[in-house]
Amino acid sequence: MKFRPCIDLHNGKVKQIVGESLTAAASQGGVIENFVSAYDSAYYADLFKRDELTGGHVIMLGGGNEKAALGALREYPGGLQIGGGIKADNAAHYLENGASHVIVTSYIFQDGELNMEHLNRIVSEVGKERLVIDLSCKQRDHKWFVVTNQWKTFSSFEVNEANLRELEQYCNEFLVHAVDVEGKRTGILESLVSLLSRSVSIPTTYAGGARSLEDLALFNALTEGKLDITIGSALDIFGGALPYEEVVAYSKQFE
């Protein structure tokens, strides 16, 4: 189990927000911000570089984040992945500016379906070894599905072992967001974590709800160390109560 750090960017600033609030921003007065940092993206990239944390991700939440994203990538070349608005015609730009991988989401899941034309196009552009597929999941009828359209629309893509093994042929890693607990610090979704741990055979990072060292221990036990985890708003560097240094020290024991 590795701890994968994150840098979430919104309107050019490093923030931690409640993920689902993005979908209601226009009608309900804006996103719910857990934290807005006084430091820029390069500060956090340098911190993660100092602690030799690899495989973390920079996520651009909407427009106005290009400068901040490139600042992080250039500060820690080869140490961070980039996601948010990535598609075949701009992916190489981010790789050339220091990203280790590009992360795709809405580009390959459109109109409630997996768009194989787009998936094949981006694989041809960057190669599967530098591609991460982001699966944002919600549960319906005791099954897990990828949700699209800012997490408002259930796709037809069920997250199960057969579908994950098929998708593994096109990418190097998965990044899986548990939508219902993203940014809420309410604990990990054990059923999703267990499903992933028995279904995937490539590196997979889980994101959503982790808030304590006890959560990390539970996660490690449920997955038998097979999955990695990211923690955002619970960390003290992002306004939470969980000491970042303790999380780094905890995860280093598994290296």
pLDDT tens digits for 204-227? 999 999 999 999 999 999 999 999
Q: CATH fold of 3-252, please?
A: TIM Barrel (3.20.20)
Average pLDDT rounded to a whole number, residues 247-255: 94
Q: How large is the greatest C-alpha to C-alpha distance in the chain, in angstroms?
A: 46
Is 166 a residue whose pLDDT tops 70? yes
Q: Which residue has the higher pLDDT, 59 or 24?
A: 59
How far from the centroid of its chain's Cα atoms is residue 63's Cα? 18
Is 183 a residue whose pLDDT tops 90? no
Please check whether residue 191 is in contact with residue 223, taking contact to mean a CB–CB distance below 8 angstroms: no
Please check whether residue 165 is in contact with residue 47, taking contact to mean a CB–CB distance below 8 angstroms: no
Is 26 a residue whose pLDDT tops 50? no
**Model pLDDT, residue 64:** 96
**Model pLDDT, residue 18:** 61
- pTM, to two decimals: 0.94
Is 48 a residue whose pLDDT tops 60? yes
Is 201 a residue whose pLDDT tops 70? yes
- pLDDT band with cut points at 50, 70 and 90 for residue 21: low
Angle between helices 244-252 and 213-223 (to 10 degrees): 30
CB atoms within 10 A of CB 30: 11
For residue 132, the SS3 value is strand
> What is the bridge-based pairing of β-strands 131-140 and 113-114?
unpaired
Is 82 a residue whose pLDDT tops 80? yes
Cβ neighbours for 128, distance < 8 A, ≥ 6 positions apart = 169, 170, 171, 172
For residue 24, the SS3 value is helix
Euclidean distance between CA atoms 190 and 170, whole angstroms: 27
Is 92 a residue whose pLDDT tops 50? yes
Euclidean distance between CA atoms 227 and 135, whole angstroms: 14
Euclidean distance between CA atoms 192 and 70, whole angstroms: 32
Rounded to the nearest 10°, the torsion over CA 37, 40, 46, 49 is 70
Is 171 a residue whose pLDDT tops 70? yes
- pLDDT band with cut points at 50, 70 and 90 for residue 111: confident
**Model pLDDT, residue 91:** 98
- pLDDT band with cut points at 50, 70 and 90 for residue 27: very low
Residues, the chain, total?
255
